[in-house]
Structure formats: structure tokens, C-alpha cells
Amino acid sequence: MTKGKLALVLHAHLPYVRSANPGSLEEDWFFQALLECYLPLLEVIENSVNSNEQNPKITISLSPTLLSLLSDQDLKNRFPDWVKLRLSLLEKSTKSQNEAGRFLKKNIIKQLKNWSSCDGEIIDRFSQLEKLKALDLMTCAATHGYLPLLRETPEAVKGQLKTAIREHQRFFGKKPKGIWLPECAYYEGLDHLMRECDLRYSVLDGHGILHGKPRPKYGIYAPVCTKNGIAFFARDSESTLPVWSAREGYPGNPEYREFHKDLGWDIPFEELAKLGLEGNRPLGLKLHKVTSKQSIREKDLYDPTSASKQVKEDAKDYLIGRKKQLIKLIDQTGINPLLIAPFDAELFGHWWFEGPMFLAEIFKQAKNHKVQFTTLKDYLSSKKELQLCEPCPSSWGQGGFHNYWLNETNAWVVNEWSKAGKAMVECCSNGVSNQLNLRILQQAGRELLLAQSSDWSFILKAGTTTELAKERIHRHLNRFWNLMQAIESKNGMSESELKELELEDSIFPLIHANDWYQIY
């Protein structure tokens, strides 16, 4: 085998898009990711584990908000009907009476059976794969808060970290040691809070390590350790670009399925309305391939056989590339290098339909090309020497720093987070007088965390569903201030009013007000 190893790191996250309204856009986000990404990923890893010829290793972070959605009984009950509605729409469409349509129908039915085989207990399957040492499960900040923009109130950062750790332990029976920092965003001193929360390792973008002090001798090809004892692994762009880039990488191949052309845009609005669907939007029903034509209207029908052949070729190309890269680095550095390839998990299956098949192929072909996989946990457990380094502020977002989450479209919310965070710290530090007020304070903590989600800031910058993002931010902030006012008021809040909020934003059942206790 080639010396050196490859670590695939997937970040699985969705904002808290639980909706009481079946058929909502927010519900679609979750169910599409479940159907196209999480279920196929589990299937691929489980099949690879069951093969005697393969040794799959993946580090994957499961965000607390995603775990909440995966465990929600209402959403579990709705998912099969959501899938069956799409199968019905597919069968009615004249555009689906071809090989592409038959393949799509077969694949949807397959994933529905995949879901039914475990009665929707997806989290248990992740847990089992960790026990088999195929997965290293990490956490993420509670609601994917962009931590550098919360640093003015350190307790707000601690609230995100502590709540996340408690949720991970609730679902998996043990505290996580690894964390995916939202957007790989780092600021000086964050490692101190991580250590205080008993977190031990994470991933940063390459420049966060290369611009660190002192500059690490082995660059991004070995993890670094800070003076606070936190290990950081650095993203290797050479290992990631071929997989995530639609322009320069595999997903843009003409044979692969086109993401943007969806039957949801073609079905008459009136027909969708009769089924309770709120207007034209993507339904996850895609029958065309990328093709070489530019216009979205000029796409050829998807050919699953050609796509499957292309997946095998691209997996081979990727492994050959990593082998050459490792050999070159060994010659140049004299060490056994580690390549870190982190991705959003939703790339595999949702954004890039063939992504799970690609993972299955690289696990299958890895032995032939003498490429070895590892997880971050396993690498650290091998007690290899770490480079001493203090990382620099960075992110893996556009521009490499914080500007995507701090600009003219979304900067206004930072001040709102700051005011609410300080009020939360003050109230938690002073304490409350009775059990009802403690519940009110805990609910205020949930609303604060939900308002801090970086997803809404991202949407405001991206300019997509901006009204939805603004509504979510204002909704949670307004609820937060109403709850805080209820604690201070003599009239307070009735238990029925509180129960209504607890039911609607029913996340983080073990939330602890002490997490926001003032840091001196």
C-alpha cells in the first residue's frame, strides 16, 4: 500500500426546518436530503462494511439540528406519504415514460424500502456504523452558529458548544471529541473554549493552518496542535476540487444528472395546488443529464448506464490522483502525509446525484490503487507527532474569511445576536425565582440559538429565499424578547402559552441555562 492516508470528512447539516405544515418548502428541504443523500449514504457505507474486500472509513459530523429532524416522530410519519406523492406525480407525467423515468421511479422505491427497513430509525444506523469503526461521528455547533460573529459574548459561543455536546451525548450515549466548526470558521481563542468543553479536534481550511504561527513545517499534510491541546486538520484543495466543483470537477460531467431541471417547474400550478403543494418548486424529480448544452431547456434525457460507467472512471481517476499526490509528498517531505478531503454531505446524492455511487466505487477500487482511508479519530489515536501551531482566523467560505456572513445583506443581524446574547447571559447569571421561569429561560435559550443559525445569514447573502430567512430570524428573536420580558414581568407567562412555544420549537430537550453563565 502507498504510505500516507486519505481522510474523507463529511459535514451533514440542515437548519431546524421542522414545519407544522405538510407540503411546505421547508419540509421539502429535509425530505429531499433524506431521500437523496442520507439514506443512500448509509446504504453505501453499510454495503462497503459488509464486503470483505473493502474497509470504508469516513469522518462525519451530524449537526444537532439535523439529529433533531431525523428523530422527530411527526416528520417520520410524514415522510412515506411525501415520497408516495412524488411517485404519483412521476407516473402521471408523460415525460417520465422512458428509461430515465423508470430508473428514477425504481430508485425512489428503493430508498423508501431503505427507510422502511429500519422503521425510519436513521440515527441508530449511524451509531452502529461508528461501533463498527467505519464512521467517526463528530458534532457541530448547536444551530450552526457562525462562531466568529458571536465572540463578543463568549458565553454565546459556549452555549452553542455545550448544547451541541449534550445533544450528541443524548443520541449516541457518549460525548463527542471532534467538532465541525460551522463553515470551518475559526477565531483566535476559540480553541480555549473548545478545550473547556472537552472537544479535542476539528477541521479548518488550508490557509487557516498555512498562515498560522509558526508556519507548520509539513504544511497541511499533518495536523497541528495548539497550546490549548486542540488538534486541527487542514483541508487539501487538491483532494477536494475534483469532487465538489461542477465547473472543474466530476459533477459537471455531461453524463451526470442535471440538478436544476426538475419536473416541479413543469407541472401546472393548479395541479400542484390540488395536492396541497405551495406553488412551483423543485420536487426532487429530475429526468435529464447535464449534457453539453448551456440552456436548461436543452438537456438530454438521463442515461443511468452511461452515468454508471462514468462513475467508475471518475473513481479510478480520483484514486490515481491521490496515489500520485501521496508519492510526490513522501518524496518531498519524508513523512507519511495525510490528505484531508472535507465536503458538505449533501453534495453526495442531493447536489451530485451520483455522489454516493462515487463513494461506493472509491471504497471498492481503493485496494487496487493502494490508497488507504482513515478517520480523524483513528489518526490521532495512532499517536503520530503533531506540529505546534496557532491557527489564524479563517473559514472555508467565499473569500476565505468572514465576509460572506458579514456584509451589507446580513450585517444587521450581528448586533441583534449581540444584544440578545448579553441579555441571556445576564439573566442566566442572576438566576430565576421559580421552576416556571426556569422553563421560560430555557425556551429563551432555544429561541436565541435558533436565531443564531448561520443558514439564514447565508441565504440573505445568496439572495434565494430571503423572505423566509428574514421571517425565521425575526420570529425567533421576537419570541426570545417576549420570553425575557415574561421573566421580568409580574404577570409573567401562562403555562399554556409556554407549552405552545415549547411544542413549536421543540428542540434541545436537555438545554441548560448554566451554559450561558457569565465567564469571568
> Which is the catalytic residue, given 27, 136, 183, 255?
183
Hey, which residues does 213 pair with through a beta bridge?
A: 390
Per the annotation, does 78 bind a ligand? no
Of 441, 443, 436, 439, residue with least CA distance to 517: 441
Distances in Å between the Cα of 17 and the Cα atoms of 89, 183, 325, 510, 511 are 24, 19, 41, 20, 19
d(CA 454, CA 178): 20
> Which is the catalytic residue, given 344, 390, 416, 502?
344
Question: Cβ distance 175 to 196 under 8 Å?
Answer: no
Per the annotation, does 136 bind a ligand? no
Determine whether 55 is exposed, middle or buried from the number of CB atoms within 10 Å of its CB (0-12, 13-18, 19+).
Answer: middle
Rounded (10°) CA dihedral 245, 250, 256, 260: 0
Question: Cβ distance 508 to 444 under 8 Å?
Answer: no
390 is catalytic: no
Strand, helix or coil for residue 354: coil
> Position of cell 434541545?
508
C-alpha cell at 261: 431541471
Per the annotation, does 18 bind a ligand? no
Distances in Å between the Cα of 497 and the Cα atoms of 259, 444, 474, 493 are 43, 13, 19, 7
344 is catalytic: yes
Distances in Å between the Cα of 486 and the Cα atoms of 69, 277, 480 are 29, 37, 10
> Position of cell 414545519?
19
Strand, helix or coil for residue 80: helix
Distances in Å between the Cα of 218 and the Cα atoms of 209, 215, 237 are 10, 9, 16
d(CA 278, CA 465): 14
> Position of cell 504544511?
219
Per the annotation, does 252 bind a ligand? yes
Write out the binding residues for substrate.
Answer: 235, 252, 396, 455
Q: Which residues are catalytic?
A: 183, 344
